[in-house]
Amino acid sequence: MVRQLQSENKGIPLEIYAFSSNTAWVAYEGIQADIFDHLYANIGYFDLRLFQEPSGHDFKDRFK
């Protein structure tokens, strides 16, 4: 299930809900990783781009 959140100046945030009958934590993490890998690999087919705003920690050592 995908929920579209309120539009922002940098895009439209999405929430993705997925359910699994497998409750083993390691298996669940693998399922979650597979879902996101699939989304990342196919997002271009829908003329969409991913965006994540970096924090200050991302640039802290880069410009010394």
**Res. 8: pLDDT tops 90:** no
**Res. 3: pLDDT tops 70:** yes
pLDDT tens per residue, range 9-58: 888 888 999 888 988 999 999 999 999 999 999 999 999 888 887 777 76
- Local confidence band at 59 (pLDDT 50, 70, 90 cut-offs): low
Radius of gyration of the chain (CA): 16
Category of 57 on φ-ψ map: left (φ > 0), alpha (ψ -120 to 50) or beta:
alpha
* Spatial distance between the Cα atoms of 4 and 57, rounded to a whole number of angstroms: 28
* Spatial distance between the Cα atoms of 7 and 51, rounded to a whole number of angstroms: 13
pTM of the full structure: 0.66
More confident residue, 59 or 37: 37
